[in-house]
Structures are given as C-alpha cells and as structure tokens.
Structure 1
Amino acid sequence: MRRTKSGDGAAAGTIADRTPAPDGGPVLRLEAVRKTYGRTVVLRDVALEVPPHTVTALIGASGSGKSTLLRCANLLEEIDDGAIFLDGAEITDPRVDADAVRRRIGVVFQAYNLFPHMTVLENVTLAPRRVHGLPRAEAEARARELLERLGLGGRSGAYPDRLSGGQQQRVAIVRALAVRPRLLLLDEITAALDPELVGEVLGVVRDLKEEGMTMVIATHEMSFAREVADQVCFLDGGVVLERGAPEQVFGDPQQERTGRFLERIIRAGRL
C-alpha cells in the first residue's frame, strides 16, 4: 500500500523528553518499510524498533540506506510501502499532519544548514518562536540554557561564519534540541568535520545519551558506535542485515557480509 505524507514537554533540568509511549512500547517503530527511487530499491522491508532513552546506531557502507531511513522516519521522504510509528501512532497514515510530526522529531544533518545572516541565538530560537509559538523571552531562555550546556554560552551573538566547524555542528544540535524533541535523528554529523573537531561533537552525543535522549545515529565512526549505542543495525543494500548489541555485532557478527564490512573497517584503522 502506498502511503502519502501529508505540545511536547521535557522534565525540568534535562534535555530529553521523558514522556512515555502510550503502551510503554518503542518511541519509533518501522514495519516493512520500502522506499524506491525509480527502479532502484533503497529500503527493502525494513523493520526497526527504538526503545525510549536508547541509542540505535546505523552502520554500513555509503549507499546502504542509512540516510534514507532517517529521512523517511522524519517524513522528509515518502515511503512506498510499510508503516512508521511514533509512540505507537502511525505517522505515515495519509491523514497525519506531517508538520506536526516533525515538530516532535529533531534532525541534525552533516551539513550545518545554519542561516548565515542570523546569530547563533537567532538560529536556535527561530523554530521555537515561529513554529511552536513560544514567546521570545521563553525561547531565548531555553536557547541560552542549551548553549551553555553544550559549551557555547559565550557564542550566542556570533554569526555562523565566525564559528569553527565543530561549533557550528554543536549549534545545529542545540537548534534541534530547542524544540524539545521526543526523538533525535543524527545523520553522519561528523562527516564534514576536520578530524580534530570530531571528538567535541561526539562528546555532545555522549552527554545526550546520559541525559536519556532517544537517538538514531547514522555513522561511519565505528568505535563511537560501539561505545555509545544500545543496539547496532548493519544495513546492506537497503536491508537491515544484522542487528544486536554492540559487543555482538562488532565482536561476533553472525552474517558473512557484516564480517567482511568490519574487516575492511579494521584494516583502515577505524575500529
């Protein structure tokens, strides 16, 4: 069946939205999701469950479907078959307001996508004010709190071109968090960074995990995925070929294709 796409709170003092799913189930669930571009099948009957306050790492070669999966989960791409659920409610139902869904999901891409003519504070408060209708004072107070937490307290008045790549990516993460998302999707957020800046951004993700933020991360940083993830999914040709705890997937892969992929990673010194 082809699907057509069409007030959150957080506990005080924490970044994560701790509102439970209605049935205590996963925050995000994909059922038999299929996505094609012309004759090319990018996702093949993908099934995935993301429990609350956990980190799911998507690994695999470029073109394996990791980024497309995230874009489908945020309704930036229309799926061709299957269903996607957020807190038990189907968000790929044609009657669903896609914009309302996106207000509950934060997304950070490898490109920072900051508005160059706006200060850091203006970039961060734009969506809370314009989309969520927060008063300016409340939006700015929330933004300043997050910027301080992520080590950017003194940069609120700076313009993006005055920041390092790592600082810009941290601003992009703050912008995603400012709307108090139920779920955070991170798509290769270190891919555009110089090696010396990767650590500071990954440190932010570690902090978010400790705060209990539910995250799905597409990454080529294998050592980081092994450290931070609660579950790892290896994608190959649009299929979730293997999933499991990091120690199992990285230490004792059950699929030959997973093993070959990890062998190349090890030879390259990335694991």
Structure 2
Amino acid sequence: MSAPPVLECAAVRKEFRGNLVLRDLDLTVAEHEVVVLIGASGSGKSTLLRCVNLLEPVSDGSIRLDGEHITDPAVDPDRVRRRIGMVFQGYNLFPHMTVLDNITLAPRRVHGRARAEAEAQAMGLLERVGLADKAKEFPDRLSGGQQQRAAVVRALVNAPRLLLLDEVTSALDPELVGEVLDLIRTLRDDGMTMLIATHEMGFARQVADRVCFLHDGAILEQGPPERVLGEPAEPRTRQFLQRIIDAGRL
C-alpha cells in the first residue's frame, strides 16, 4: 500500500464576507515534490497557503497532512504547525531578538529542546546559508536577502514535513532575489517537500516539479513547468503569461 501524499486538499472552499476566494480546490503534493502556485494577485495563492497552515479556517472541504485530517475542528492547530514550516514575504522576524534567538525560540519554547542543543542546530543551518557571522545581530542590521534567509532557517530548524513559501522574494530589491532563490533551489535538491506561491516565472521554471495556475480561486491548469509555462492549454493561462512576458518577468 502506497503512502498518502504529504498534502492533500479536497474540495477546499474559503469565503471572506460573501466573497468566495477558494472554489472547491483540489491539490496533492507528494513527498519530495515541489509544487509552485502562479496566478494574478487575488487568485487565491496566499489564502491557500494560510489555510494549509491553519492560519485561516476553511469554509468547506478538507486538508490532510500525511493522511491526517488537519481541518477537523477537533485537531489542535499548534500541534499541526509543528510539522509545517512557513516563510512569509515580510520576513516576520522579531526585531528585539537576535537572529539566533529568533531561530531557536520555537525549538526551545514549543519543542522543549535545551538551549545548547537548539543553538548548535541553528548555527549549523546558519553556516549552511552563509549567515553564521550574523547570529548575534538584530534583524535590522541585516539586508533584506539576509533577513529572508534567516526566516527560511527559522522555518527549517524544526525539520518540517512541508515547507510553505509565500512570495518570499516580493519584498526584496532585485539584486537580493538571487541569493534567496539559490537557497530554495538547494532545499529542492535536498528533497524538501514544498508548496510555493511566486511571481518569479523563471524561478518556477527552474525549481518546480509541477506548476499550478490559479484563477478565481481554482486551479485552472497544472502540469510540468515546461508545458504550463511554455505551451499552456488554457486561454486564461496564456493571457496571464503574456502579461508577465510584456512586463519582462519571464
């Protein structure tokens, strides 16, 4: 019997004040798979990620993590979030804590690890992403790219089953985008299971196993990046990509 997918969304609906943001959306993400969500602003990408991380309750449908129905009202969301890492576009680092303290907060407070153990693991990850010398700095002393890499390390330190990345380069200056994308490519090569929302089509082409185009809260088209980005079948997908090309972003 084959193992269930790491993530399974079935007929997920999300409504905000009468506005249907996700429309009976179905999506699976297999272990070690990288699925990239593309689509115009307001298409539902970020809302889907927030629903998966239980930051927003679904209005209907179900979400399963490793086969467990995590949107069951009886499920403890904090317990689920220990198995999911999420990185936001705005970094969300605590400004009054050093980089090292930001990264070790959850391992110590939530997982009960000793400070020395948590700091040793954090330093290993910071070394890997080239930030070991910034461990004792406060976030405002780091560049945007460095802050975002620190935010990724914070999500990785708890060894998540699934990593969610929400437009992680949109707040960065163009010259800083590359260092964050390089890190995500490394995670992909290491086998990390990821669900990524992005406007970076070139990055989606390089890193995705599968690209999903969202339109009006539903997945209108999905498939290998070379097909969806190169030869899309749906007129709406072609229209979206043409606008990206016209803006010089593909």
Please report how far the alpha carbon of residue 108 of structure 1 lies from its aligned counterpart in structure 2 after TM superposition: 0.3
Q: Which amino acid aligns with 1:255?
A: E
1:109 aligns with 2:88: yes
State whether structure 2 residue 60 is matched by structure 1 residue 98.
no
CA distance in 1, matches of 2:159, 2:244: 35
Which residue of 15, 20, 26 corresponds with 1:47?
A: 26
- Tell me the alpha carbon deviations over residues 132-156 of structure 1, each in whole angstroms, 9 at most, x when there is no partner: 1111111001100000011101111
Q: Choose the corresponding residue for 2:9, options 15, 30, 35.
A: 30
Residue number in structure 2 paired with 1:209 = 188
Residue 266 of structure 1 and its aligned partner are, at CA, apart by 1.0
Q: What's the CA shift for 1:201?
A: 0.4
Partner amino acid, structure 2, of 1:185: L
Match of 1:201, SS state, is helix
Superimposed CA distance per residue, residues 73-95 of structure 1 (whole angstroms, 9 cap, x where no aligned partner): 00000000000000011101111
What does residue 130 of structure 2 align with? 151
| Number of equivalenced pairs | 250
Equivalent residue for 1:59?
38
* Percent identity (aligned): 67
Contact 1:106–1:183 (CA under 8 A) maintained in structure 2: yes
Distance 1:159 1:250 in 2: 40
Moved >6 Å (runs of 4+): none
Does the aligned pair in 2 maintain the 1:23–1:88 contact within 8 Å? no
Residue of 220, 223, 233 corresponding to 1:244: 223
Question: Which of 47, 50, 62 is residue 71 of structure 1 equivalent to?
Answer: 50
Q: List gaps (5 residues or longer) in structure 2.
A: none
1:82-93 correspondence to structure 2 within 5 Å:
82-93=61-72
Aligned partners of 1:43 and 1:162: how far apart in 2?
A: 39
Task: Report the aligned-residue RMSD.
Answer: 0.9
For residue 134 of structure 1, give the secondary structure of its aligned residue in structure 2: coil
How far did 1:25 drift? 2.4
Q: Structure 2 vs 1, CA of residues 73 and 210 (structure 1 numbering), >3 Å: closer, same or farther?
A: same
The C-alpha deviation readout for 1:152-188, integer Å capped at 9, x for no partner, is 0111111111100000000000000011111000000
What secondary structure does 2:130 align onto? coil
TM-score w.r.t. structure 1 length?
0.91
Report deviation, 1:252.
1.2
1:23, CA displacement in angstroms? 4.3
Match of 1:141 among 120, 132, 148: 120
**Could you say which residue in structure 2 is the equivalent of 1:219?**
198
In the alignment, what sits opposite 1:197? 176
Task: Report the alpha carbon displacement of residue 204 of structure 1 after superposing the two structures with TM.
Answer: 0.5
Instruction: Report the Cα offset of residue 192 of structure 1.
Output: 0.4
SS of residue in 1 equivalent to 2:72:
coil
SS in 2 for 1:123: helix
Q: Distance in 1 between matches of 2:91 and 2:202?
A: 23
CA–CA separation in structure 2 for the residues paired with 1:133 and 1:218: 31
SS of 1:179's equivalent? coil
Aligned to 1:4: none
TM-score (structure 2 length as normaliser): 0.99
Query: Which amino acid is 1:125 matched to?
Result: T
2:229 aligns to what SS in structure 1? helix
Give the match's secondary structure for 2:220. Answer: strand
SS of structure 2 residue aligned to 1:251: coil
